[in-house]
Amino acid sequence: MPTPTADIFVTESTQSRRVTGPMKTCFIVNPKSGPRRRAERFLPHLRRFAADRGLDARIDITEAPGHATALARAAASSGFECVAAVGGDGTVNEVAQALVGGPAALAIVPCGSGDGLGRHLRLPRSPMAALGLIASPLPRLALIDTGSSNGCPFFNVMGFGFDAEISQRFNGLKGRGLPGYVRTGVATFRERSSEVCRIQMNGSDDMVSAMLVAVANSDRYGHQARVAPRARVDDGLLDLVSVERVSWAGACLLAARLFLGTFDRSPRVRRWRGPAFTITRAAAGIIHTDGEVHASAAELRVQVHAASLRILVGG
């Protein structure tokens, strides 16, 4: 299974930290994650794997939104070297929040429908293969950037407008996955209008009329949908993308570009790169951070936190 190489991501030698053998790991499982509660169905395999390998491990189960952050914080405080998010992008976000700036490493066991950060890092797509990395006697870590919007952390992509509305509707679906996301997108497009926003960065000041504004740490939402094809998680920068209102034909072309990796080459798309942005919209409203939706102020202060999260990338 391919993993990132040293010329792509800022790697950290585990030997320099005297890590020998598999890391002491706390697995945090969101049983509701994934199509047909995939994480819950994976739980017996996880327990069997940990027992068979004799891992120094604990398994915690989340019970409500935000619980994964509390569990991850407690695990890091208890001396766990690795905290594994077993779930989707929302679970990864909650677990990673507790690990930013600390010594414990994040591991991703993908059981959700998108897995944007994991795909960007080229981590294993199979949950069992991900467990193999965690059980490695010579784990390899990387230091990656993280972002925040008005203090709210994100690790993959945050945004508002069209994509936030899709996320809000998608999160309420019983059936998840790419087909559901596409159907939700089509329905949302019929109703979504543009809004005028002010974007300030390093002395520049731009006004845009956008149906979507996204700020990306990695290059994609999930699957192969690359909203910021040139974004990297180790460059100390964020990529801001705004999209003008388009016709149905234009939307189809943009959708194709999204999956072909040429989204930011469209004349309907504008892109900025920088360590921090101030985005001002007409009124307060919803935003999403890694697909999780919440209310936020009209003015958004978005910034990068360079090399602030350790993450397991290989063994």
For the domain 10-146+309-314, what is the CATH code?
3.40.50.10330
pTM of the predicted structure, to 2 decimals? 0.88
pLDDT at 38: 92
User: Which positions ≥6 away from 97 have C-beta within 8 Å?
Assistant: 69, 72, 153
> pLDDT tier at 34 (50, 70, 90 boundaries)?
confident
Whether the pLDDT of residue 186 is over 80: the answer is: no
Fold of domain 152-305: Tumour Suppressor Smad4 (2.60.200)
> pLDDT tier at 2 (50, 70, 90 boundaries)?
very low
Given the DSSP bridges, would you call strands 157-161 and 57-61 parallel, antiparallel or unpaired? unpaired
pLDDT at 172: 60
pLDDT at 13: 44
Residue extent(s) of CATH 3.40.50.10330 domains in the chain: 10-146+309-314
- With beta carbons less than 8 A apart as the criterion, state whether 287 and 216 touch: no
Mean pLDDT of 163-181: 66
> pLDDT tier at 15 (50, 70, 90 boundaries)?
very low
Handedness of CA 88, 91, 97, 102 (dihedral sign): negative
Mean pLDDT of 38-57: 96
pLDDT at 188: 67
> pLDDT tier at 47 (50, 70, 90 boundaries)?
very high
pLDDT at 3: 40
Mean pLDDT taken over the chain: 89
Whether the pLDDT of residue 10 is over 90: the answer is: no
Mean pLDDT of 24-52: 94
Whether the pLDDT of residue 183 is over 80: the answer is: no
Least confident of 111-115, 166-170, 235-239: 166-170
Whether the pLDDT of residue 98 is over 60: the answer is: yes
Whether the pLDDT of residue 6 is over 50: the answer is: no
- pLDDT above 70 covers a percentage of the chain that reads 86
pLDDT at 17: 45
Residue extent(s) of CATH 2.60.200.40 domains in the chain: 152-305
> pLDDT tier at 296 (50, 70, 90 boundaries)?
very high
Greatest Cα pair distance in the chain: 58
